[in-house]
Amino acid sequence: MRLVLGFLAALLTTAGLAPVTSAAPLESRPVYSYADAIRETAWVETGTDHDHDGKLDRVAADVIRPDAPVRVPAILDVSPYYACCGRGNEQQKKTYAPDGTPAQFPLFYDNYFVPRGYAVVLADVGGTNRSSGCFEPIEGVADNYAQVIANGAPLATPENTSSAFTYNERAAELCKPFEADLKTRAGTNGDYNAYWQSVNHVPRAGQVSALVAQGFGDWIVAPNQFARYWDALDRAGVPRKAWLSQAGHTDPFDLQRAQWVETLHRWFDRWLLGLHNGVEREPAVHLETAPDRWTDVRSWPPATSPVTFRPSADGTLGRRGSGTVSVADDPAVTREEWTARFTAAPLPAPVRIAGSPAVTITASSDKTAARLGVALVDYGPAEARNTATYGSGVENLATRSCWGAGTDADSAYFLDTAADVVSVDHRIVAAGWADLGHHASLWHGEPLVPGRAYSMTFTLTALDHVVPAGHRLGLVLGGTDGLLFDPALPRLGDTVTFDLARTSVTVGFTKPEQ
């Protein structure tokens, strides 16, 4: 896992720290020279030979640490993007001196934390930048199956789910057999299997404390990844903290920068340096309820009252449903354009919806296969972060501010940011997709009998959203989602008929935070 790009915080390890006495300070201070810090590369053998070159794979881990005779904790960030694509809103890449010594360490962790007595280790995923071997799952995704397959419906062809775009020139050729083997193990029919079980990290959550971040407008690493992992951390009883925003795929460093750095600093000091600063006794969740409007809450999701809505053929959404509606599947049509829309009466008072809404769909297809799409919508005017079409909801400014110490090769001045806000007349606040052939089990899909009705229950993406008074809740039904699914997937050419009396969405209602 890595430190917050879209979803999960780093699981950080210590390096033989001495016990902290009662006289120890409650905050690490910038007492070490950044300019004089030791910069080096550690080559770590993984014990595998994924690229089949006859040698054990080696991961390149670039290290920067204080030049002092002390043992320090390490902040580890593993990524495939240090050479191909860059990191952060400025897309920073690693750079090296002529002798190969690391020069620029992307992001601010080195600038801020090395002077405070931490080492920062930026490791290249196998087959990327200077690492040999091949690409395996990285941090930020708790359940890899749910990342690339939506309840039995593959989101892309095997060719387009590959990580080959991140490979270095050597791995691009040597890792072709490895990638082919992964595709075989993963399968192409959307079935959950032993491979997907092996890359589901939710059952292993809770081994250490975790600081987690998620944007509810993130359609790249969707909020359902966060919700499942957060629940697992709760069951494990480990210290946990979350930053939950209304932004898209972005780092909290670009949202509420000063407070995020302070939180990260105190979290690392507590769990890596052992400084008893009380951060674990503070509210567990820092929540953005509207652009740049934040509050602290003790837990997430809040206690809610479940309310079930059902659609009717007249376009209403209420406690009872009736009639049918048919949708011709068209991969070019997006969830914003689906026409099977149902709206509830205007809300008399604002309502907070939080958690993971559940939908039950009863539908038939005129073909032997069908994809389903569902969207939960807030209809009404609002100012919102711009996360449509995978936007981050953040924009760069022309000014810069300093976050730590720097050198000529690695500046500590980073572009300031602001909320990218737009006026909207509706917002899709949660969505979900499925393959109707997996109605009975994700492990085994089956061909549909044309004309036969099947029922399937699944959850939408997690949300925390306030629906203002006067707005209407809406439910939209569709097929293949042109904003999500790879157009290279087979065209199903089906028409789905929804039995609306047996179709419903259940959401958790509570009062908005003050």
- In the numeric block, which tokens belong to residue 324? 């049918």
Question: Dihedral (C-alpha) 348, 498, 390, 95: value to the nearest 10 degrees?
Answer: 130
- Are the CB atoms for 10 and 76 separated by under 8 Å? yes
**CA–CA separation, 139 and 129 (whole Å):** 17
- The span from the first CA to the last CA of the chain, in angstroms, equals 34
Collapsed DSSP state (helix, strand, coil) of residue 486: coil
Cα 365 from Cα 110, distance rounded (Å): 55
Contact between residue 300 and residue 240 where contact means Cβ atoms under 8 Å apart: no
Provide the pLDDT for residue 5: 28
Q: Is pLDDT at 153 greater than 70 in this prediction?
A: yes
pLDDT of residue 161: 74
Q: How far apart are CA 405 and CA 371, in angstroms?
A: 52
pLDDT tens by residue, 442-501: 999 999 999 999 999 999 999 999 999 999 999 999 999 999 999 889 899 999 999 999
pLDDT band at 14 (very low <50, low <70, confident <90, very high): very low
Residue type, 437: G
CB atoms inside a 10 Å sphere around CB 359: 23
285 token code pair? 């969740």
Whole-number pLDDT of residue 358: 97
Q: Tokens 């674990």 sit at which residue?
A: 280
Cα 405 to Cα 45: distance, rounded to the nearest angstrom: 32
Residue 185 has pLDDT above 80, yes or no: yes
Contact 61, 130 (CB under 8 A): no
pLDDT at 10 over 80: no
State how far the Cα of 486 lies from the Cα of 50, in Å rounded to an integer. Answer: 28
Distance CA 81, CA 93 (A): 8
Could you tell me which of 163, 161, 170, 99 has the C-alpha nearest to residue 131? 170
Residue 371's DSSP bridge partners are 435
The length of the chain is 514
| pLDDT at residue 2, as a whole number | 31
| For residue 24, pLDDT beyond 70 | no
Q: What are the backbone angles phi and psi of residue 181, rounded to the nearest 5°?
A: -65, -40
Enumerate residues 6+ apart whose C-beta is below 8 A from 173.
none
Q: Does 4 score more than 50 pLDDT?
A: no
Q: Where are the alpha helices (DSSP H) in 4-152?
A: 81-84, 109-113, 144-148
Which among 464, 3, 419, 8 has a CA at the least distance from the CA of 213?
A: 8
In angstroms, the CA 160 to CA 484 distance is 13
Domain coordinates of the chain in residue numbers? 305-384+422-510
Q: What is the pLDDT of residue 140?
A: 79
**Predicted confidence band of residue 245 (pLDDT cuts 50, 70, 90):** very high
- Residue whose token pair is 């050729």: 173
Q: Is the pLDDT of residue 118 over 70?
A: yes
pLDDT at 207: 81
Model confidence at 189: pLDDT above 50: yes
User: At 377, phi and psi to the nearest 5?
Assistant: -125, 140
**pLDDT tens per residue, range 316-337:** 999 999 999 999 999 999 999 9
* 390-407: pLDDT as tens digits: 899 999 999 999 999 999
Query: Are the CB atoms for 153 and 434 separated by under 8 Å?
Result: yes
The CATH number of the domain covering residues in 305-384+422-510: 2.60.120.260
Does the structure show a pLDDT above 90 at 21? no
Higher pLDDT, 141 or 365: 365
pLDDT the model gives residue 290: 95
What is the arithmetic mean of pLDDT over 356-379? 98
| pTM (predicted TM-score) | 0.92
How far is it, in rounded angstroms, from Cα 317 to Cα 56? 59
Q: How many Cα atoms occupy the beta-carbon half-sphere of 197 within 13 Å?
A: 6
Mean pLDDT of the chain: 92
The pLDDT score that the predictor gives to residue 115 is 98
Question: Are the C-beta atoms of 498 and 340 separated by less than 8 Å?
Answer: yes
Helices (H), 169-251: 169-174, 176-186, 194-198, 223-236
Residue 29, pLDDT above cutoff 50: yes
Instruction: Say yes or no to pLDDT of 299 above 70.
Output: yes
Over residues 43-67, the pLDDT tens digits come to: 999 999 999 999 999 999 999 999 9
Query: What pLDDT is recorded for position 513?
Result: 81
Tell me the pLDDT band of 114, cut-offs 50, 70 and 90.
Answer: very high
Backbone angles phi, psi at 488, to 5 degrees: -80, -10
**Residue 117 near residue 15 (C-beta atoms within 8 A):** no
For residue 163, give both structure tokens: 């990580």
CA distance 283 to 296: 6
Binning pLDDT at 50, 70 and 90, where does residue 25 land? low
